[in-house]
Structure 1
């Protein structure tokens, strides 16, 4: 389920309160008071068999006696009664229920879990919010179905929290700051309505400007990621995650499993979705303030997309100390002081006293009057090297802080560059902060909070920018891997009841996926090791490593010997290693040793690339500084597959080792293309083989010559059912559907290659529009368009395969150019999907549109979509004719007589 009937929760026309009470201080009494006192324009029907009236309204003895079926029922009765109450509401025809009551399995209580099952069975088609919730509040419709202590102010922020205590804390704080909300929703134990549902609903709600989440656990990861990516493309989404404990690392047996704990995976998920993550209550309050203070002024457009990704801040202050503190905070959080233009410095010299700081931060001296602030701010807002300006003020006996704030607001009016403010102190600063809040200029109690607010926007912009960047075209995505070889290696290990591939087998897997490896040979005995070493070239150094599925970290137990320079040394080292490890680990299965030529690359960087399976989000890819000290150093970052060049590069940039990889002094930059390729291919392994549970490449050495995997470990486990049929179904982000690639036949019998659209098709879409007839463009977009803007082209090519599909037809002449595109966009429930088609002018009349539309219909049936529809201009005769041939029905659009709505039930 998703957005179906959620309007009955958040825009009900009638409400029933089951468990309404007059008892002072009871939940039923508080709920009744809140429902009746907030201006809801509709019948509110309290149900209580022992009262004749509650809140001035007639009370009903039971649900069956209610005069109408309520849109929304709020239930606050004892736990054992709730399933029966919900069943009665279902039979009455109620559409949604908010279950306030707790006792449905919190803490894995067996009795409560049994009640939860009964509740789910009783609900039927009704939507359930809860159980164990504070309730919900929608000020815009006068709805307060909660037992919160105060009612929220109306506004455009939506806040969704699992914790009722967190919701009331934010409500209390925000009300004192004059910050209002469009929705406040407590999710509780999420029997039905969850974060994915709420994101899907709020993303398209016009009254919602930004969405705040308090997350403990998200539930359905795939639904959450699809909904979050869709929502974050349209408006800012901010999340705070509680319980940052890497519980998944406890049982991990690989470096990747130990490092990719649950919190790092949530971090990866939020980043991948284009959301902003905050880490504590104060940060959440800061984020509320930042978002409630003109998003556009902070460089975020009304549709949630970033105008720029700059992190260069100019700091204007009347005190040197406070400016230094702001600078320290900025650098610590990864921002940069702007390097003011020479012209800016010259202009500042003209308006400031000779004793000003002559640089950034701009200290305009403690006696600065309002005019000095205004003059300096005017200059800084025109500086091209600054992305935002932070204005600080410390109270003095000489200057009027309130008057300075008034002049700052005068200068800020109408300016596009982001401005943040912090007036330090209490009494002297209170009125100034009130002025800024009323004018929608972000203001903070301290300079550090202001800088953090700025960095919130910077991080949000960067995540959004990653969503809109187009990866480098790889044509065939770097070549198809040898999946058959990997399948054989995995099947052999599973048949032999082995959980771990040998090092040699693991390297064969990497080789099959075009990741360069240091080849290894297996020796069962010291004599065989000597023989293998004798085949290496003179002067080559040799490494010997133990082969054992029971010894995972070889170097920790002396299972690796390096820098052996002769066959004799290899034989001797192998002998001692086997003897010692068989003595120290008598129960371990030891299969011999691997003998490999050592790769001598002085100055090369040791990296780690890994794969593990998170219990919530499925496969995750890990990257960072590798080597024996990988856990100690802790310089790693986690990402969700599938990956492309842009996403892989973004992962690399998140690590400290990235600075070294870029080159320094006389050291050239490492082969970033090779590193990205390794990350992408490891992600492809996760897509192709559900049996791979953990993978480590450590170290992957990298320098300007390329990358080479020196060691690799892979853990496998059998799978069945859906995972065996579709390995990619375990991913939280649906990957490129390679299985949909194929051909369609034209009227003359020619075969045209078609495939799902890829992000790198952005330029191809622009070229397709440029070579299409203007009339066709108007028919497709319902208005004239000379060319396709880059931002829109990026959005149309970077689709969520979980809820969209676009099939592109390729030019038979070059096999690359797009000659047509057919698109299907489903609603959040997957019940309906809208189609659109555009063909290049020189390929009209060939039957291509009909063939692409047929392919879309096949896809929609496969996905279980109920109806395909489209809006077609009445003058678009060819499209209407094709729709009739395909079985569509047509009727006039209710909002536009010049448009026909065509639909095809499936």
Structure 2
């Protein structure tokens, strides 16, 4: 992954338009019109060898004649000229280009052109967006480098699309609804800059509150998930992907040439990345509105407050149809409502205030619901009524919700007049919808997004706790099959292989049982995944899908989502039935976790099938199984799109007479990390974070503990004995720069345990890790007055440059050379 030089693409100071034109209805003319219409504050240089001026600006005959090196070039010239132009731009120093031109239709000609463009750009680190891109828009800069018909308003939403036509349509749709953008990017064929690169960039862009994606296929699953997981930890990432049906997938393949992949696997990838998937363009923008406003949602159930029975019933229908639940009102809440409601209304959910409900009744009733115990969400519906002014009702509801950490959604029905009346709710940060259906769908989106965020925080270990498989036996069996030139193991080898991981094969049936089929195979983009479903089931809803690695928690969630086992909390389920369902789910989750461990441990294992898999009172057992093997070198892509928690990097040491565990940081370390920061004295905090403010916001705490082990590593030292057992005493982290050759390190030791050698231990471990990972260099920035850190860096073999008057010293270590003995 790389965001190298994307500033030149998305924050240019000058733009050259190659193929600029005054010819009516030409792409070159549309590009110039939009650039000038947008009010771009930088230089705009048209390039056209046949014109002295274009759109009133001086034109230049070629790239060589440009007065300066443009940050960004927009190319709309004939396809045959593109490689020469890209090379000329790159050699002059241009670092980004948007290729509007389409590639030839003949596959061999198209492939040759794509490669020629890359060959011209890559030696100079020039980035290419496209070809066949509609362009990009950054409203805050006045930059409209596209040929879209509608201008984009300024706002906080980023829209990234693999379809130029859909990009243009979305801009039209958004303009009619006063929706603004931080940027709009049409990826085109994405031969260089792809969705992952843009997501990576936008993840740290303060102007972007939410990232919306339209995708037709994903080529590099690990890169895409790594970027999406990093971005979605800080802001909503919402995706609309075509190809849900077989016919749609075939149409997408004909359109893009890319394999859309298994849609159920993509769904699983979205959940593990903490994203939200929606079904329509309207849902994209509605979900962005909801998730950037209704961010405090914790409950999964809904209370509906309405002045009209019909809209309330519609809301219940949508909620129940999607598997949602209404909240049960507690007796004290019902008692409060009873004195507020008309005699014809019962204090039940939905709460019907009656058609004559005024602002006072709305406000008091909402206050009663918000003060009820629990953390369920509330939807307030208002239908036009002569009994009360809609704006006064909105003001009363906004007042009741003020200063309450409770998730509230509103539906103000009645068209344009209602939209204006609901403004007090929007001003209070409450999301407002036009219909009950849209409001309930928004609620369901928030529930789904929260669950996906929980999946994002899971970091399955590379080695299961309290489980000791016989790896040596398994490895010997798999390698024996390969040595003998077989593509699969024998029946006896399969039995022994599964047995080495605690998976029983061939046990006799024991009464009541649930029979399922399990298969582990590889997706072209997202690597290994497991599919569990009823034997012979073809329906999407009948399968539990999970990307590997899986732990017990993730496996259990996938089983529940697929409905393979009745949920133990299902309303009305007898205690015995609930207990049996819980037992079945636990047995299946354990089976999936052990299968995941087996496959993750052994690169030779290509495919595993257990059919049937029987679940009964004694647990889960495989009745028949098949294992396919292949040399690790035969893998065409990444085996795992998500790297497991690297438990093998844990290291127990003795330091100063105490037992200390050095290990990678985990998501569940957030609390301990907060205490670690709190225990660090202000001077030490400043030397680490270059700031006097000794605190980290909750979002930053999450980013420090929920890391992607593909792109970052953080080791913490935790005491294993004494009064501070389990607490973090120090940390060292390294973030890999775009390009994958350089990492930057930072280190912090808790103030009360300094000068005991922990800093040396931590930095040495990070150096060893970075060297083993194939990185070329490790660098660090140090405040010049931090003499202890400068001395430590030099002791570890680093060169430290302290320039006179410089604000920071730079430490550098060449990892390709052997380090000093520390």
Tell me whether the two structures share a fold, i.e. TM-score over 0.5. yes
User: Partner of 2:520 in structure 1?
Assistant: 611
Q: What stretches of structure 2 of length at least 5 have no aligned partner?
A: 251-259, 816-822
Q: Write out per-residue CA displacement over residues 187-229 of structure 1, whole angstroms, 9 at most, x where no aligned residue.
A: 0100111111111100111111110011111222111111111
Q: Give me the whole-angstrom Cα distance separating, in 2, the residues matched to 1:289 and 1:762.
A: 28
User: Partner of 2:176 in structure 1?
Assistant: 176
5 Å-filtered alignment, 1:368-447, equals: 368-385=357-374, 387-426=376-415, 429-432=418-421, 441-447=430-436
Max radius of gyration: which structure?
Answer: 1
Query: Which of the numbers 473, 477, 499 marks the counterpart of 1:485?
Result: 473
Distance 1:719 1:807, change over 3 A: same
Secondary structure of the 1:659 match is: coil
Secondary structure of the 1:69 match is: coil
User: Partner of 1:88 in structure 2?
Assistant: 88
Query: Which of the numbers 303, 317, 321 marks the counterpart of 1:328?
Result: 317
Q: Give me the whole-angstrom Cα distance separating, in 2, the residues matched to 1:340 and 1:239.
A: 35
Distance 1:864 1:412, change over 3 A: same
Distance 1:10 1:768, change over 3 A: closer
Query: Does 2:553 align with 1:646?
Result: yes
5 Å-filtered alignment, 1:587-606, equals: 598-600=508-510, 602-606=511-515
Query: Which of the numbers 331, 335, 341 marks the counterpart of 2:330?
Result: 341
User: Partner of 2:283 in structure 1?
Assistant: 283
**What is the RMSD of the two structures over their aligned residues, measured on CA atoms?**
3.6
Query: Which of the numbers 111, 127, 149 marks the counterpart of 1:113?
Result: 111
User: Partner of 1:501 in structure 2?
Assistant: 489
Q: Write out per-residue CA displacement over residues 541-574 of structure 1, whole angstroms, 9 at most, x where no aligned residue.
A: xxxxxxxxxxxxxxxxxxxxxxxxxxxxxxxxxx
Q: Give me the whole-angstrom Cα distance separating, in 1, the residues matched to 2:790 and 2:305.
A: 62
Q: Give me the whole-angstrom Cα distance separating, in 2, the residues matched to 1:816 and 1:346.
A: 47
Secondary structure of the 2:65 match is: coil
User: Partner of 1:713 in structure 2?
Assistant: 626
Query: Which of the numbers 747, 771, 781 marks the counterpart of 1:837?
Result: 747
Secondary structure of the 1:351 match is: coil
User: Partner of 2:644 in structure 1?
Assistant: 735
Moved more, 735-744 or 207-216: 735-744
Q: Give me the whole-angstrom Cα distance separating, in 1, the residues matched to 2:616 and 2:697.
A: 38
Query: Which of the numbers 838, 843, 851 marks the counterpart of 2:761?
Result: 851
In the TM superposition, residue 803 of structure 1 has moved relative to its aligned partner by 1.0
In the TM superposition, residue 318 of structure 1 has moved relative to its aligned partner by 1.5
Query: Does 2:143 align with 1:143?
Result: yes
Query: Which of the numbers 339, 342, 345 marks the counterpart of 1:356?
Result: 345
User: Partner of 1:882 in structure 2?
Assistant: 792
Q: Give me the whole-angstrom Cα distance separating, in 1, the residues matched to 2:9 and 2:682.
A: 44
Count of residues paired in the alignment: 795
Judge conservation of contact 1:612–1:621 (CA < 8 Å) in 2. yes
5 Å-filtered alignment, 1:807-822, equals: 807-809=715-717, 820-822=730-732
User: Partner of 2:188 in structure 1?
Assistant: 188
Secondary structure of the 1:81 match is: helix
Q: Give me the whole-angstrom Cα distance separating, in 1, the residues matched to 2:491 and 2:120.
A: 54
In the TM superposition, residue 421 of structure 1 has moved relative to its aligned partner by 2.2
User: Partner of 1:265 in structure 2?
Assistant: 265
Moved more, 13-22 or 644-653: 644-653
User: Partner of 1:804 in structure 2?
Assistant: 712
Could you tell me the TM-score, scaled by structure 2's length? Answer: 0.87
In the TM superposition, residue 426 of structure 1 has moved relative to its aligned partner by 3.3
Secondary structure of the 1:696 match is: strand
Q: Give me the whole-angstrom Cα distance separating, in 2, the residues matched to 1:338 and 1:635.
A: 27
Q: Give me the whole-angstrom Cα distance separating, in 2, the residues matched to 1:747 and 1:351.
A: 68
Q: Write out per-residue CA displacement over residues 283-318 of structure 1, whole angstroms, 9 at most, x where no aligned residue.
A: 224224435xxx2x41x2xxxxxx443122221111
In the TM superposition, residue 131 of structure 1 has moved relative to its aligned partner by 0.7
Q: Give me the whole-angstrom Cα distance separating, in 2, the residues matched to 1:399 and 1:319.
A: 13
User: Partner of 2:255 in structure 1?
Assistant: none
Q: Give me the whole-angstrom Cα distance separating, in 1, the residues matched to 2:179 and 2:695.
A: 41
Secondary structure of the 1:343 match is: helix
Distance 1:716 1:135, change over 3 A: same
Judge conservation of contact 1:15–1:45 (CA < 8 Å) in 2. yes
Q: Give me the whole-angstrom Cα distance separating, in 2, the residues matched to 1:110 and 1:484.
A: 48
Query: Does 2:375 align with 1:465?
Result: no
Distance 1:275 1:632, change over 3 A: closer
Secondary structure of the 2:707 match is: coil
In the TM superposition, residue 339 of structure 1 has moved relative to its aligned partner by 1.7
Q: What stretches of structure 1 of length at least 5 have no aligned partner?
A: 251-259, 301-306, 520-596
Q: Give me the whole-angstrom Cα distance separating, in 2, the residues matched to 1:765 and 1:884.
A: 28
User: Partner of 1:580 in structure 2?
Assistant: none
In the TM superposition, residue 716 of structure 1 has moved relative to its aligned partner by 2.5
Secondary structure of the 2:339 match is: helix
